[in-house]
Amino acid sequence: MENKIKLEILGISYSQSQSGAYALILGEVGEKRRLPIVIGSFEAQAIAIELEKMKPSRPLTHDLFKSFAETFKINISEVIIYKFSEGIFFAKLICNNGGDVIEIDSRTSDAVAIAVRFKCPIYTYESILNAAGIILPEEHSSASNPEEIEEEKKGKSTERDFEQYTFKELETMLMAAIDEEAYEKASKIRDEISRRKAQGSE
């Protein structure tokens, strides 16, 4: 059995090669090798929302999976991308219930969305990095939050002017956007709030 290689999520960007798809960029920890994986828009949003620590008013599918697993005391200890065949990546969830260790087959995009929720490591093997990995001299993945993903999809600028609103108004608007599941708008408002906090201009 090959030694496992730990991966980290470097970013998500709108795919230039496949319309309506996104590129999830995984990187070998401490190294320059990258593993780009084409995923769907739903999974891209699910991963980005969790990475950005945004809390939807109702649980998304992967949040429901986590709650279901935790209710029955099942933990996901790691995710392994174990196969690459004909352009498709195969992954599995390594689960345990305090006694038995069980492997569950999964689409790679779903596995990563679940991994970020359980805060468990993501691994692959040398053979997969050799077959599908690329070496990038520097980071270039551009979008990693829901707002940027949606705006890149539409081909529009991600900038929006929220300077006319007070800090309190922005906080109220942020809560309303999250309740309405308007994640793109919520992300923009959150960025403006963060900018003001950094400048001390609340």
pLDDT: is 137 or 155 the higher one? 137
Which of 85-89, 147-151, 155-159, 176-180 has the highest mean predicted lDDT (pLDDT)? Answer: 85-89
pLDDT digits (tens, 9 = 90+) for 12-63: 887 766 677 888 999 999 998 999 898 998 999 999 999 988 888 888 999 9
pLDDT digits (tens, 9 = 90+) for 98-152: 889 999 999 999 999 999 999 999 999 999 998 898 876 554 444 556 655 555 5
Q: In the prediction, which pLDDT does 157 show? A: 34
pLDDT digits (tens, 9 = 90+) for 78-88: 999 999 998 89
* CB-CB contact of 88 with 105 (8 Å): no
Whole-prediction pTM: 0.70
Tell me how far apart the alpha carbons of residues 38 and 44 are, in angstroms, rounded to a whole number: 9
Mean pLDDT computed over 170-194: 72
Burial class of residue 142 (count of CB atoms within 10 Å of its CB; 0-12, 13-18, 19+): middle
Q: Is the pLDDT of residue 68 over 90?
A: yes
